[in-house]
Amino acid sequence: MKQDISFDPIEGVSVAVVLAADKALNAEGQPIWQVYLLNENDFPLENVIVNANGYGQQPDGEKVRTSTLRYLFEEVPPRTAIPVEPLDPSLFHLNNQYWVSYYRGPRIFDKKFIFVPDSIVPDNFSLIPLLDRVGVLHS
């Protein structure tokens, strides 16, 4: 039963959004952003699944929900950052959710990382040492 499952806190795992390294542009000429999964631990993350989706409202009030995309990484080595997906700036007005699940040995861990609307802005930038770049970090 659910009460028999131990839900330990997640430490050392984060999601970051940074400008794409290749400076790619979308159809409107805006820069493309890249989402990364960061493992700042001294141990690997195994069988990692990242569910990505967006939801919220358009500026005209219409509710919108993006497709759910799932990414599987067999292993995320210690102290590494893995690119997950590109993120178009036209989605910044939505909640962008990344639900990360992984194993450490026989134990499963999971956490939702939600970038709320309009949170991916220069005021929220910080240096992300694992990437040696600035962006928005969600821990």
Averaged pLDDT for residues 37-57: 97
Q: Give the tens place of pLDDT for each residue, 81-114.
A: 999 999 999 899 999 999 999 999 989 999 999 9
- Whether pLDDT at 118 is above 80: yes
In terms of Cα–Cα distance, which of 33, 2, 10 is closest to 113? 10
- Whether pLDDT at 23 is above 90: no
How many Å apart are CA 69 and CA 94, to the nearest integer? Answer: 16
- Say what percent of the chain tops pLDDT 90: 78
**pLDDT greater at residue 122 or residue 1:** 122
Largest CA distance in the chain: 51
Within a 10 A sphere around the Cβ of 90, how many other Cβ atoms? 11
- Whether pLDDT at 28 is above 90: no
- Whether pLDDT at 2 is above 70: no
> What pLDDT is recorded for position 20?
86
**Which H, E and C letters describe 64-105, residue by residue?**
EECCCEEEEEEEECCCEEEEEEEECHHHCCCEEEEEEEEEEC
Averaged pLDDT for residues 47-61: 95
* pTM, rounded to two decimals: 0.92
